[in-house]
Amino acid sequence: MKFGLKLNLFAIKKLALQAYIMSVTAIFCLFLSGCASVSSKNPVDPWESWNRGVFNFNDSLDTGIVKPVATAYTNFVPTFVRTGVHNFFSNLTGVWTVVNSTLQLKPQAALESFFRLTINSTLGLGGVIDVASDMNLEHRIADFGQTLGHYGVPPGPYLVLPLLGSSTLRDSLASTLISRGDLVWQLNSVAARNSLYALRLLDTRANLLRSTSVLDGVALDKYTFTRDIYLQVRRNDILDGKEPPEDPTEIPEFKENAPALNAPKPKVDIEKKSELQPEEPSVELPVVVAEPVSTQFPAQLPAQSTEVKPDRSPVAFASAILDIN
């Protein structure tokens, strides 16, 4: 009885925490316009002061509680168990991937995700074993925020949510609308539901340990680095990893960072080519060096002959005197 009572109290606390998070998120979304007056150098992050405060709160919570627990989970739980847990939760996301790929009119991605979900759910023992990857069925992730972006809904300002981390206004609203569609949420047992939520959070954080260690050692500003990486990943999700078209301003994800339409084109390459043209005819150098050698010898020979002429022999000198007399 005492153990069951503790589980119920734990479940009640978890529900209260979830309700608090949702209420804070809702209140924050209602008062977003009040934060718009905060000055920011980046147009995609007009609420930077608020976001930095929430980011520091999340980072402190992660450093004090979440990261140590995830580190212990990685060190003491066997690898095959952690792999099975990760495969199980990855398989659960396949349902929404099929739905959103269909909404985005991507039949190949929808079919592959459907076959992957079916194979792993049956042959893979509920997704614990990833059998579909051996069949070259790629693991895809498609959420409702990506679907909205696919149809031109702009991402809106960058947003950091308490305990949930980086997001955008569009993605936050999309995740709120489909939160009830989460398969874990459908469980009737509150204790099992909260345990799965905690285990999924632990699995996600454990898979990010190496990335966060790199972030701590490289990034001068963790907030800016995290924001830029998140926005780049979301743009890549919208474009499916393809190159943007010639006019990137047509894509909502690129509007904030698109260059001005009347911006002058750089002419650096043309000027460099014009400067390098006079230096190309380097063939004249051997001709210039060879000319003095060939012209000096004929010019010096007559001079030497004129200087030798006064040096006559005694017989010739005597005959010359006789001729004069």
- Alpha carbons 25 and 41: distance in angstroms, whole number: 25
pTM of the full structure: 0.63
Residue 192 contacts residue 79 (beta carbons within 8 Å) = no
Residue 156 contacts residue 169 (beta carbons within 8 Å) = yes
Domain boundaries, the chain: 32-93+141-254
The residue among 16 and 149 whose pLDDT is bigger is 149
N- to C-terminal Cα separation, the chain: 161
Owner of token pair 């500003």: 221
* pLDDT at residue 277 tops 90: no
Percentage of the residues of the chain whose pLDDT score is greater than 90:
49
| pLDDT tier for residue 179 given thresholds of 50, 70 and 90 | confident
- Alpha carbons 93 and 113: distance in angstroms, whole number: 10
pLDDT averaged over every residue in the chain: 75
Instruction: Report pLDDT digits (tens) over 112-171.
Output: 999 999 999 999 999 999 999 999 999 999 999 999 999 999 999 999 999 889 999 999
Q: pLDDT at position 34, please?
A: 45
- Alpha carbons 37 and 35: distance in angstroms, whole number: 5
Least Cα distance to 97 among 240, 204, 203 occurs for: 240
Instruction: Report pLDDT digits (tens) over 73-110.
Output: 999 999 999 999 999 999 999 999 999 999 999 999 99
Rounded to 5 degrees, what are φ and ψ at 63? -65, -35
Tell me, what amino acid is at 63?
T
* pLDDT at residue 240 tops 80: no
